[in-house]
Chain A
Amino acid sequence: MNDFEQMLIYSRYQFRNYVRAKRLWILLLITGLVIALIVSVNAYFGNPASETAKKTASTFASFAPTLVVLTALFFGGDAIASEYQNKTGYFLLPNPIRRYVILWGKYLASLAAGGLVVLIYYLSGTVYTYYYHSTVPVEYWYSLAYALVFLVSLLSLTYMFSTFFKNGAVALVIVAILYFFVFNIIDGVIQLTGIEPWFSITYAANIITLVFQGSHMGDYPHKTVLHPGNGITVTIYNPYLWEGLAIMLGYLIISAIISTIVFEKKEMK
């Protein structure tokens, strides 16, 4: 039995575990509520039929980055830490299966479960946009692709954090704080320094919505300098599409290497 076959087998059973778990259903419920909110608010306060298909689709895609963060948290936050805390590691680790196979088998299952949620969300947006405009703009599919790349990358980063801890709840809370507060604060503060936050994954994820801006894809300013007064200069950066992808890919590779090394060395004390 080679490592790849073992990874697929483990991943399949993990996915089954995720599908039956409450977490998936809670996340689907949140997704459903958000969809209902977008549809009802737009119907009540706006007029989707009178706007462009691109505008309608972009309204839907605007929640996608937050959904991806939630998905990564739900399926990755405590994924590895729980193996230690819940002692499931005692069941699986003393078998002829390499640690990285377990790590990436579980990652694939999380990705499949998380991807399912993102796809369901985008499918709803497709139906919604098509209902009003009888077409779906090509930018929407790019947005979906970027959202999936963001999921792949953020989940890898989340797994990396999860390998650092032995307590699932601690891992989950710390990762939530990082994603919802720390990264956003850094992105905000950095605007005052004039430095492009090329090192921030949430900055890179802006391409999910930026793709809708301008007359064609990528038609938006990379750098905007504002002078709101009192000698303050605010520099707003928007990542190029290729740049956003490169940053996310960088996060994927680096966090994958670190999490693999950490999990290989980690002991079940």
Chain B
Amino acid sequence: MDLEAKALTKKYGNFYALRGLDLKVKGAKCVGYLGPNGAGKTTTLKLFTHLLNPTGGEALINGYSVQKEMKKALMEVGTLIETPDFYPYLTPEELLTMLCRIRGATKCDVKHALEEVGMYEWRNKRVGKFSKGMKQRIALAAALVANPEILILDEPTTGMDPRGMAEIREVIRDLKKSQRLIFMSSHLLSEVTEVCDEVAMLDHGTLLLHEPIDVVLERFRGNVVEVTALNKIDGEAIKGIKGVVSVEQISDTRVRIGFDDGAQTQHAILSALMQQGVDVVEYRSVGMALEKAYLEMIGGDTK
């Protein structure tokens, strides 16, 4: 199972929404697709799902061109693009059954899909009365119902409350375990860090990075830790620890320590604190590595 963009380009007048994207994702994994508003994320996903036609290049799914062999290309793909709406007088059960029958899917399980997104008890209610969050859950169920091997998800937790977001992330984690390729755009860096194996970053329609998330996290690891202890922390004593470059005393029991090297130094600082008799209860990196990578490569605000 794979998704491949070959010099994929989408142009509106003189504006490039996507400029010669070359990207290949393959195998059972989750790939986070990051970028600011207008970077071209949704455009990419729409090109892969036949909602847009490319100006140049090609979108391939499992080797089939989405533009030339649409039915074959999308046969093993479940999609959630933006927040779709549904025919208001049909029920979730009817909508998903219709989808299964249209796809001729043999692996369909409407009940399981609705249970997974927490909508089974609403299966016989008309969708027209549902809230945006409920519709988003139904949309995810629609992506899952035919049990496809590839999932293309566009900001899947949009419009959901915090509980809903957590539940959907859990669903995505479970999906990863069942050997699927998940290609997911998101604004939420924490979400991508939590769920994905690889990350691709896009800005102004151009791909800036595509690497395993561990590599990105290591490369952009933050060199600041925040320490919380049960007893008073002596900031001056910490300055003497090898590799420490700055100490900011936040309160008697909390300090923020800057250091000049990688994980080894971070570990050495913790050991030294323990030796100094500091009763450490929390020791954590400040600032996400992915956020740092995002800011360095793209700049601007992050959510």
Contacts and interface: CB of A to CB of B under 8 A. Distances in A.
Interface size class of A (residues with CB under 8 A): 20 to 34
Contact of A86 (B85, B95, B98): B85
Nearest to B97: A13
Contact of B98 (A9, A20, A90): A9
Interface in B75-92: 75, 77, 79, 81-90
A9 B101 contact: yes
A9 B142 CA distance: 17
Interface string A185-209: 0000000000000000000000000
A213 interface: no
A94 B74 contact: yes
Contact of B89 (A1, A21, A89): A21
B103 interface: yes
B71 interface: yes
B176 interface: no
B39 to A, nearest CB: 16
A223 interface: no
Given A1-B103, A94-B74, A96-B75, A267 B53 contact: yes
B98 A96 contact: no
Contacts of A269: 52
A90 B82 CA distance: 7
A33 to B, nearest CB: 24
Contact of A87 (B46, B83, B89, B104): B83
B241 interface: no
B103 A91 contact: no
B81 A90 contact: yes
A184 interface: no
Contacts of A21: 88-89
B90 A16 contact: yes
Nearest to A10: B102
Nearest to B100: A9
B85 A17 contact: no
A87 B52 contact: no
Interface residues of B, number: 36
A124 interface: no
Contacts of A18: 89
Contacts of A268: 46, 51-52
B226 interface: no
A94 B102 contact: no
B86 A91 contact: yes
Contacts of A88: 84-87
A111 B67 CA distance: 30
A261 to B, nearest CB: 13
B50 A94 contact: yes
Contacts of A94: 49-51, 74, 77, 79, 81, 152
Contacts of A91: 84-86, 95, 139, 142
Given A20-B89, A88-B84, A95-B74, A1 B104 contact: yes
A267 B98 contact: no
Contacts, number: 91
A96 B89 contact: no
A96 B105 CA distance: 11
A88 B142 CA distance: 12
Given A9-B102, A13-B98, A96 B82 contact: no
Interface string A225-269: 000000000000000000000000000000000000000010111
B23 interface: no
A97 B146 CA distance: 14
Interface in A66-120: 86-91, 93-98
Given A13-B98, A268-B51, A87 B87 contact: no
B94 interface: yes
A16 B85 contact: no
Contact of B87 (A9, A17, A98, A267): A17
B81 A13 contact: no
Interface string A1-42: 100011001100110111011000000000000000000000
A10 B103 CA distance: 11
B42 to A, nearest CB: 10
Nearest to A268: B51
A18 B94 CA distance: 14
A147 to B, nearest CB: 27
B110 to A, nearest CB: 14
Given A90-B51, A267-B51, 18 more contacts: A6-B102, A9-B101, A10-B98, A87-B84, A87-B85, A89-B51, A90-B84, A90-B85, A93-B50, A94-B81, A95-B103, A96-B71, A96-B74, A96-B75, A97-B103, A98-B71, A265-B53, A268-B52
The 7 tightest CB contacts between A and B, nearest first, are A1-B104, A90-B84, A94-B49, A20-B89, A268-B51, A91-B84, A94-B79
Interface of B: 46, 49-53, 70-75, 77, 79, 81-90, 94-95, 98-99, 101-104, 126, 139, 142, 152
12 contacts: A6-B104, A16-B90, A18-B89, A20-B89, A21-B88, A87-B85, A88-B87, A93-B51, A95-B74, A95-B79, A265-B53, A268-B46
